[in-house]
Amino acid sequence: MLRAAGVQTQRTQRERGKDRRLPADVELLIAVGGDGTVLRAQRMAVPAGIPVLGIAGGRLGFLAEIAPPQLDDAIRRLLTGDYRIEHRGMLNVVHERDGRVHGDHSALNDAVLARGRSPRSLWISVSVDDAHLANYVADGIVAATATGSTAYSLAAGGPILAPELRNVILTPIAAHLSIVQSVILSPESRIELKLVRSQDASLTVDGQVDTTFSLGDRLLITTSDVQARFVRMTPMSQFYTQLVARLQHDLDRTHGPSGTDVEPARA
């Protein structure tokens, strides 16, 4: 339909761990797949300020909102300009080692500091704006955006934020005897994570970047000045309706429509 309407298209595929630079004349990126595919597409699109339209390749996700039966209508609306652009906040994630920047990343969903191969819990020191918040004994900790609030942070017991908010959520993973559980911080907060004990840990950013994190390293997290842009066909007011529908869909897949457990599908 796009080509028939005179729109130039090009198919591209991003290799894991490699960020492909988009041509200068690209105006829109269409990502077909799950939420992971949309996250990878945004890693290419954000530096160029290009919006992304997510088409669900499998089950409907939180980022890929267009189901395959809706594709023709979505394309028609694209061609007529009948859509809106939604801006989502992001995080700056700076990994320091020996006083130097070891990694500098942008996160649309979250940054996760988690235990590595060792079965032992991590001891993580958390500071906010240079003031000590807590020491967590946990399997890890998630720093999430509003977009990421429906991902790993939610699974770990964190709250759901409206997508337009730019707050940062800190959610421990399986915390042991911790007074401070999930907290919501202001967009201006400066967060610092450090290991208290020498342990095997890993840092993951949006599920795309995975690196080791050691005793003496620092993780500095702030809100980013840049934002991800999404093409949306539904009004903002539909967010909670869609949220409940998707959560119910996942619940039904796990427990069945009646709430009784069902056996997982086998290949």
Residue 128 lies in a domain: yes
pLDDT band at 111 (very low <50, low <70, confident <90, very high): very high
Average pLDDT for 237-261: 71
Amino acid (one-letter) located at 44: M
Higher-scoring residue by pLDDT: 231, 14:
231
Task: Determine which one of 35, 110, 206, 217 is catalytic.
Answer: 35
Whether 139 has a pLDDT exceeding 80, the answer reads yes
pLDDT, one tens digit per residue, over 37-85 is 999 999 999 999 999 999 988 665 789 888 888 888 999 999 999 999 9
Residue 31 lies in a domain: no
Look up 110 and say whether it is catalytic: no
Residue 45 lies in a domain: no
Residue 193 lies in a domain: yes
Which pLDDT belongs to residue 149?
96
Number of domains composing the chain: 1
Average pLDDT, the chain: 87
For the ranges 67-71, 156-160, 227-231, the lowest mean pLDDT is seen at 67-71
Burial 70-91 (b: 16+ CB within 10 A, else e): eeeebbeebeeeebeebebbbb
Residue 55 lies in a domain: no
Residue 126 is part of which domain span? 89-226
Residue 222 lies in a domain: yes
Which pLDDT belongs to residue 223?
98
Query: If DSSP codes are grouped into helix, strand and coil, which group holds residue 138?
Result: strand
Higher-scoring residue by pLDDT: 157, 13:
157
Residue 21 lies in a domain: no
What CATH number is attached to the domain comprising 116?
A: 2.60.200.30
Higher-scoring residue by pLDDT: 89, 179:
89
Rounded Cα–Cα distance for residues 220 and 158 (Å): 20
Residue 250 lies in a domain: no
